Amino acid sequence: MNKFSYTLRLLKQCVLIAVLVAMSTVCAQADVIYTNRAAFEAATSPNTTLDFEAQNPNGPGSYTYYESSLTIGDVTYTQPESRMFVFGQSFYNTYGLTSSYLNQNSSAPSGITVSFANSVQAVGMDLGIQNTWNDPSLAVTFTLSNGDVINTTAPLLMDTSNTLSFFGFSSDFTFTSVNINGLSEGVAFDNFTYASATSSVPEPATMLLLGLGLVGLAGMRRKRM
């Protein structure tokens, strides 16, 4: 085999390996779900957490009405139907709660959209359903600006001793906003946490393909020698 043919064959081999690795990476991409705050915070950094105590100066038995927009630091919460409230923990007979929370109240089909000043890669929060007057569903949907859609359920809070339950996720791609929505009257969340990066380990399929590629190249080199 002449030098040109060998170089061309080697180049084709490298391109094939690169394509296979890229394909395996795309296929392996998936949102990572967390139901434990400690695990979420260990896997993401740097973390910023926002609560809503300062946004409800009227106290635990009352509420503050924010209509369509609320900004805290680098984060803006919007609700197009002007049905966004911060409720005190005892206003709606939510016996298990200990602090104020942000709420998507009734007649709010657009949910609450959370927008970030800079791209993030992970979001987590203590999540619940304030009440089910509007719809019995406990489903909550998260729609990210990068196109990802994540579904979960949350505990019912009104007239129960339930507490908010942690739910978080990270994405392979950064995003600048997330819409939080549910059919019921009252998607509620507190201690909203976001992070700009996640720790990552190469996917097993990617590592395997890289290994096979290196072995193939080593074999070709031995044949040439």
Span 110-161, pLDDT tens digits: 999 999 999 999 999 999 999 998 888 899 999 999 999 999 999 999 999 9
| pTM greater than 0.85 | no
CA atoms within 13 A on the CB side of 167: 21
Structure token pair of residue 100: 């104020």
DSSP state of 94: B
Is 13's pLDDT higher than 70? no
Is 45's pLDDT higher than 80? yes
Question: Which domains, and CATH codes, for the chain?
Answer: 29-198 (2.60.120)
Taking alpha carbons only, the member of 93, 54, 99, 51 closest to residue 75 is: 51
Q: For the chain, give the percent of residues with pLDDT over 70.
A: 74
What span, in angstroms and rounded, lies between the C-alpha atoms of 61 and 57? 11
Secondary structure of residue 72 in the 3-state scheme = strand
Residue 2: pLDDT band (50, 70, 90) is low
What's the burial of 179, exposed, middle or buried (CB within 10 Å: 0-12/13-18/19+)? middle
Structure token pair of residue 70: 């609320």
Concatenated DSSP letters of 149-191: EEEEE--B-TTB-PPPEEEEEEEEEEEEEEEEE-SSS-EEEEE
Cβ proximity of 75 and 114 under 8 Å: yes
Residue 108: pLDDT band (50, 70, 90) is confident
Q: For the chain, give the percent of residues with pLDDT over 90.
A: 67
pLDDT top residue among 7 and 146: 146
